[in-house]
Amino acid sequence: MTTNKNTPVKQTTMPVNSETIQTIFQRRAVRKYSDKEVDRTTIEKIIDAGRMAPSAMNTQPWKFYVLTKKADIEFYSKEIRHSITHALPHIGLKSIFKAGLEGLKHLSFGIEFLKEKDPVFHGAPVVIFITAPKDYEWAGLDIGMCSQNMMLSAKALGLDTCPVGFGKFVMYSKSFNQLGIPEKEEILLAIIIGYGNEEPEIHPRKKDNVIYL
């Protein structure tokens, strides 16, 4: 925001008169979860919120592939770890960083990545892979809005979430076909959902990025 140098920029405060805005300000990326399961009805409510997102020309390109069995989640976490460590020569450093640079930073650029029990899904009881048709121009935008709806609705229902860019690397695993995702689709993002076991602090937000024209 461009301001007169004598005009201070106020820090963001949480409004108290809007539940929607409170939910937006309270949502965090959570990477520690309790063992409590999430019931199917709640999962459907969260997905329904995703379906309400806007999309280019109302194409609604998203599809949702849901894992809730602990053994399956642990299996695909291992498959993704294996894919990331072995796919680099084939897909390039740029692709790895594009999907998970922030995750790599969080995990000390991958050194701790191989040591954690589940550095991909963090022990969450629900994993949702979100796909869109391959080569669809607006996929990133549409899936981004859909995902944000889902994460905010989860928070409103008392759950926590984390968007997992690394989730797309399951497409490079030998077991990818077991998910039943058609060849014409690609995974844009995975979201993990559960009852959080941590309360991350909010990171400072930039306040100098609005320009009134």
Q: How many helices (H) and strands (E) would you count in the chain?
A: 4, 4
Residue 7: pLDDT band with limits 50, 70, 90: very low
- Distance CA(46)–CA(36), nearest Å, equals 17
- Please give the backbone phi and psi of residue 38, each rounded to the nearest 5 degrees, phi first: -110, 125
Closest CA to 79 of 148, 167, 160, 4: 167
Supply the mean pLDDT for the chain. 86
How far, CA to CA in Å, does 73 sit from each of 111, 123, 137, 181? 22, 8, 30, 16
pLDDT band at 83 (very low <50, low <70, confident <90, very high): confident
Smallest Cα–Cα separation from 130: which of 65, 85, 207?
Answer: 65
Q: Where are the domains of the chain?
A: 25-194
Half-sphere exposure of 185 (CA within 13 A, CB side): 20
Output the pLDDT for position 101. Answer: 52
Picking from 15-19, 102-106, 147-151, which range would have the lowest pLDDT averaged per residue? 102-106
Helix (H) / strand (E) element for 186: namely strand 185-194
pLDDT, average across residues 93-119: 57
Which has more pLDDT, 1 or 43? 43
Report the pLDDT averaged over residues 42-52: 98
Contact 135, 185 (CB under 8 A): no
CATH topology of domain 25-194: NADH Oxidase (3.40.109)
Q: What residue type is 48 in one-letter code?
A: D
Q: Is the pLDDT at 135 greater than 90, yes or no?
A: yes
DSSP-derived secondary structure for 77-100: HHHHHHHHHHHHHHHHHHHHHHHH
